[in-house]
Structure 1
């Protein structure tokens, strides 16, 4: 069964346009989730909206939207007033410009979407736009209305289709200086940097998401399976964290030696077993020499 489109409209590049559909490129459906239940009955719990001051349950027709002007003081905004400022969707992805891919700050990247042609009649125009973009080292910047809000979206070729990624607005990003200004600039020796560089080289690899493993998700699934089958759950105590006071140079050197040390430890059991295997042979040779001498 084909997935249901999240959005339908047109992709427009100047006077060229074609019908397209959007599908969310990510999903959290496979993640393990829990519901709140009544421990006595096993029934699922239902949440209710409660007045923060009176404690009374608020019914649906009493609910409204309010913007907090100051602590505990709200201005109520009616549904009709909100609808008046909402952007009317024209169901068109308007490409405004093309920018170099490496100029896009990754912090602005938000949600990814797959963009595909909507119907056979759209394939030709879609392919023209897609293939033209393949020849450029640039990414399209477009505007799209999703859930009554306008978003800026990057668009770039991905296989036979296009990848669209909504972008955050500048006001949604926090200023890095608020977090980095307090970081001091210590004196680091050249030897330390070179050792760290060697460690980086030993861990060089290629980006392969298939190797990503969500160990926490695996543990949750195993926990649920054991509980459902009636098996006991053993709760292990957390290990105490070691002190953070370390000698940086010693830690760098130990990191470099870690791989070779691990190999030595892997072979150590075989070496310890060697004398045990040789002992009978020595005893046999000694007895043979004794008989020959006799």
Structure 2
């Protein structure tokens, strides 16, 4: 499993060298965009609207737009230094809380945590302590140049870290339009709704839920593939030598010549010769 971060987690005087691994994967089916005319994949180029040229990666810098059209340019060296200084720090668990106190809206991504060399015992200690107290640890960590607030908890005998949003990253419910302030449902309607919920209540079994749309899309793609309903991009003719170039230039000239109307051909007259008697 690929390691995306290496460092250490500490609580009190206990230090745990760990590695982070992505716990989930995106299984969305990626569709390419093609030119309808020739079925060639579309290219997206980085263009400068002022210079009207394509910009190469080494010509691009990062900047912060502090006002409309005004930027502060940030050097790559400064960003790397800042990132290194923060990533090298041990991540300290700053608080322990009950999991149910954190609303799911705060959760972002999940990472598995594995112990690095020499960290097995401390890893086991934290795992057992969290399980016994039914609590989770809150810590700060730098991942991909961004400081994240993380929740450390136990999942199937493995420590995981859930990155969570900061409060100012969660939008206010007051901004949601058309939410009714008062309820005008009747007791009978409420009782019926509760009865329906009770009837549909069951144990959560994640394996019984499938992505029906993804399955149907893959079946459609496979049926088109096996039915030979496939396309390939048109091959682009390349100029290989001077003769080809001259031929292309001549063809271009011929194509742009004004069309002239050919003169009408004279009708041939046939004179019959009388035979002498």
> TM-score, length-normalised on structure 2?
0.74
Distance in 1 separating the partners of 2:220 and 2:98: 47
Q: Does 1:46 align with 2:62?
A: no
* Partner residue in 1 for 2:274: none
* Partner residue in 2 for 1:213: 210
Given that 1:91 and 1:145 are in contact with CA atoms closer than 8 Å, whether structure 2 keeps it comes out as no
Q: Does 1:139 align with 2:136?
A: yes
Distance in 1 separating the partners of 2:192 and 2:228: 48
Q: Does 1:229 align with 2:226?
A: yes
> Quick one: structure 1 residues 55 and 218, their matched pair in 2 at CA, closer, same or farther if it must change by over 3 Å?
farther
Q: CA RMSD in A?
A: 2.5
Deviation digits for residues 136-169 of structure 1 (CA, Å, limit 9, x no counterpart): 0211111222122221111112222201101111
Q: Does 1:108 align with 2:106?
A: yes
* Partner residue in 1 for 2:11: 13
One of 83, 97, 100 as aligned partner of 1:99: 97
* Partner residue in 2 for 1:258: none
Distance in 2 separating the partners of 1:177 and 1:4: 41
SS at match of 2:203: coil
Number of residue equivalences: 229
* Partner residue in 1 for 2:55: 58
Q: How does 1:1-294 map to 2 (within 5 A)?
A: 3-28=1-26, 30-52=27-49, 55-83=52-80, 85-86=82-83, 87-90=85-88, 92-119=90-117, 121-179=118-176, 182-230=179-227
Distance in 1 separating the partners of 2:92 and 2:33: 44
Shift of 1:118: 2.0
Extract unaligned runs of 5+ from structure 2.
231-277
Deviation digits for residues 59-116 of structure 1 (CA, Å, limit 9, x no counterpart): 2333222333444444433334444654521253311111121111211111111111
Distance in 1 separating the partners of 2:31 and 2:178: 40
* Partner residue in 2 for 1:267: none
Distance in 2 separating the partners of 1:214 and 1:222: 13
Task: State the structure with more CA Rg.
Answer: 2
> TM-score, length-normalised on structure 1?
0.70
Distance in 1 separating the partners of 2:128 and 2:7: 20
Extract unaligned runs of 5+ from structure 1.
234-294
Shift of 1:188: 1.8
> Quick one: structure 1 residues 122 and 61, their matched pair in 2 at CA, closer, same or farther if it must change by over 3 Å?
closer
Shift of 1:178: 1.0
The answer to which structure has the higher helix fraction is: 1
> Quick one: structure 1 residues 42 and 117, their matched pair in 2 at CA, closer, same or farther if it must change by over 3 Å?
same
Shift of 1:184: 4.1
* Partner residue in 2 for 1:262: none
Q: Which has the higher contact order (CA 8 A, sep 6+)?
A: 2
Given that 1:111 and 1:165 are in contact with CA atoms closer than 8 Å, whether structure 2 keeps it comes out as yes
Distance in 2 separating the partners of 1:32 and 1:52: 33
